[in-house]
Amino acid sequence: MKILFQGDSITDCDRDRSDPHDLGPGYPKLTAEILRNEYPDIEFEFINLGISAEQTKDVLKRAETDIFDIKPDIMTILLGVNDTWHHIGDKNWVPAERYESNYRAILETAKRAGAKIIMLEQYVLQAPDMDCFHPDIDEKIQITRKLAREYADAYIPLDGLFASACVEEGPLYWTEEGVHPTEAGHELIADYLTDAIAAIIDNE
């Protein structure tokens, strides 16, 4: 079973980009370890093609080679925060229609490749100096949820899940600054993602 992790820096997590099977130290590696333990009879191939700093437009540009040509059985995708973050300075936000069009085309490519799709919601925790994200990212999260209703075989609402987790532990326990996960944050993502992948495996 071929599982592709797609996304930006949260997925990349300083992996060795010369080796797509190097998963880095973050949630893709943790997810792979759990799945191999839970399903010892399945031969897994795990591929991490997340690239730091990428926006939806960048992932779309490489969708044919990095999604369609690979033809994963399952694609997980965590994307969208940089469509806001890269435009914080001038507030020249990516138009909602363009964000939706870019993301939709990525998901269409995955569907054409025959992949089951697990979408992970972009998020920003209520950490210091992160309020400036919300005028734009809150709208884009709603678009991500809309697309999930159309395309996702499973959806992980990380913005809400992290908000709930922050009731017990503050945002800087889960993330470095509100976005990039700490070890605990990667573990939280991996736990939810593993459950979603397991549900797909068990229903096949």
Tokens of 88: 């914080």
Range of the domain at 190: 2-202
16-68, pLDDT tens digit by residue?
Answer: 999 999 999 999 999 999 999 999 999 999 999 999 999 999 999 999 999 99
Other CB atoms within 10 A of residue 172 CB = 14
204 has a pLDDT exceeding 90 = no
Mean pLDDT of 155-179: 97
203 has a pLDDT exceeding 90 = yes
Per-residue pLDDT at 39: 98
CA gap 64, 32 in Å, rounded: 24
Q: Which amino acid is at 196?
A: A
83-141, pLDDT tens digit by residue?
Answer: 999 999 999 999 999 999 999 999 999 999 999 999 999 999 999 889 999 999 999 99
Total domain count, the chain: 1
Mean pLDDT of 168-176: 97
Q: Tell me if the pTM is above 0.95.
A: yes
CA gap 118, 12 in Å, rounded: 17
Q: Rounded mean pLDDT of the chain?
A: 97
Which CATH number fits the domain that encloses residue 87? 3.40.50.1110
Bridge partners of residue 7, in order along the sequence: 78
Give the angle subtended at the CA of 101 by the CAs of 98 and 105, to the nearest 5°. 145
CA gap 155, 159 in Å, rounded: 12
